Every structure is written in structure tokens, then in C-alpha cells.
């Protein structure tokens, strides 16, 4: 069971549900002037009216006050219809009242050598896997395996080395947090956390 935010090789960000997860809720934190909406597959799930954080936010941002009323759509369980067992990805989008905003995975490195909220250690980076093509190595973005005649995308790849299994491939960096930053001068403007309920 799990829910996370990922960035795919197509440059877009997604919410990924895996295992038997069908229900999630969102927490939020903000310390910025713009108003925002955060959407999953075109449906607005969270909006930001004020600064602060919601009660499920973990970790709690330093220096901000609890403010469940400033983030409509948080702390509510949302059920997603899962048509395919295993992994389902849902496209993320947002709007902002000002310009110069962009998505970052929680923990992603920023230009000032800091990290998007909630900081270093929250982004699980993917491993690199390569194939030799025409004499040069090229990175593999996705890995597939044929299962009962159907090609399925692999989340990770492992090899046995000296009797121990070692992970050698993971498709995506992922985090439970996604941040919408007004530039990259600080770690938090508006951030949403996804929490698997079941």
C-alpha cells in the first residue's frame, strides 16, 4: 500500500498509487503570498487561501501555525477508482495567482543549494540503469517486463550480488510531498503531502 508523488521522464509530475491503495488524503503547508490550486487528473483537490499548515502535515514546518481553514480540500479522504491492480498514476497540475511558479518534489535540490520542503532525505532518488547502444551507454528511463503476454512497467530492478539482493534500478524519484515554489529562493511556498489511507 502506498501513495507518493513522482516525476516521470516525460517531465510531468504524477500522484502514484500502488498496491491496493484506493483512498488518500492531503495535508498542506504554505508560507507565501500567492493563492494556489492543486489538481489531480484535472480535479482541484487542495487550494491555498492562507499560510500555515494542516493537522496531518508531517513534519510540521517550523515557524508556522496550524491552519486547517486556510487549505480547503485537505484532511478529507478521497477515493480513487482503481481500474488496474498494481500501479496507477494520476497527472498533477496547479494554478497560481502570480507568475514564476514551478513544481518540485519534496526534498529536491534547489538552486541555492538547499532543498524543497521538507528538506534533504524526503526525496527517494531513482537509480540509473543503462544500455549500450552503438558503442555508448544511454540511460534507461523505463524498464518493462512481459507478464502473461502483457508488457508491464517495472517500479524497480534488483540483482543478486554475492548472495545479497541489491537494487540497481528505480524508475522515478518520489516523495510524499510536492511543492509549488515561487522561484527557488526558499524551501516552502505551497506544499502538499499525500497520505495513503487504505
Number of compact structural domains in the chain: 2
141 and 57 in one domain?
no
136 and 65 in one domain?
no
The three three-digit cell numbers of residue 198, written as one number: 487504505
The three three-digit cell numbers of residue 15, written as one number: 500522484
Give, for 193, the enclosing helix (H) or strand (E).
strand 190-196
pLDDT tens, per residue, the chain with 198 residues: 589 999 987 889 999 998 788 999 999 999 999 999 999 999 999 999 999 999 999 999 999 999 999 999 999 999 998 876 677 899 999 999 999 999 999 999 998 889 999 999 898 876 666 788 888 877 666 678 888 988 877 777 788 889 988 777 766 788 999 999 998 889 999 999 999 998
156 and 192 in one domain?
no
* Whether 53 contacts 28, CB under 8 Å: yes
User: Domain range for residue 105?
Assistant: 2-125+173-196
The three three-digit cell numbers of residue 78, written as one number: 478521497
187 and 161 in one domain?
no
104 and 166 in one domain?
no
Task: Quickly count: other Cβ atoms within 10 Å of residue 11's Cβ.
Answer: 6
110 and 21 in one domain?
yes
178 and 160 in one domain?
no
181 and 166 in one domain?
no
Amino acid at each position: 500500500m502506498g501513495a507518493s508523488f513522482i516525476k516521470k521522464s516525460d517531465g510531468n509530475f504524477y500522484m502514484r498509487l500502488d498496491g491496493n491503495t484506493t483512498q488518500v488524503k492531503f495535508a498542506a503547508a504554505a508560507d507565501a503570498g500567492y493563492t494556489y490550486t492543486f489538481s489531480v487528473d484535472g480535479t482541484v483537490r487542495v487550494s491555498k487561501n492562507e499560510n500555515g499548515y494542516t493537522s496531518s502535515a508531517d513534519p510540521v514546518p517550523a515557524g508556522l501555525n496550524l491552519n486547517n481553514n486556510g487549505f480547503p480540500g485537505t484532511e478529507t479522504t478521497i477515493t480513487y477508482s482503481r481500474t488496474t491492480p498494481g500501479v496507477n498514476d494520476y497527472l498533477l497540475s496547479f494554478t497560481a495567482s502570480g507568475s514564476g511558479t514551478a513544481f518540485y518534489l519534496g526534498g529536491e535540490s534547489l538552486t541555492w543549494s538547499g532543498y524543497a520542503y521538507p528538506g534533504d532525505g524526503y526525496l527517494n532518488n531513482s537509480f540509473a540503469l543503462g544500455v549500450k547502444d552503438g558503442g555508448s551507454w544511454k540511460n534507461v528511463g523505463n524498464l518493462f517486463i512481459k507478464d502473461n503476454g502483457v508488457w508491464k512497467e517495472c517500479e524497480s530492478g534488483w540483482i543478486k550480488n554475492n548472495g545479497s539482493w541489491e537494487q540497481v534500478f528505480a524508475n522515478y524519484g518520489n516523495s510524499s510531498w510536492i511543492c509549488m515554489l515561487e522561484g527557488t529562493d526558499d524551501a516552502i511556498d505551497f506544499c502538499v503531502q499525500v497520505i495513503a489511507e487504505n
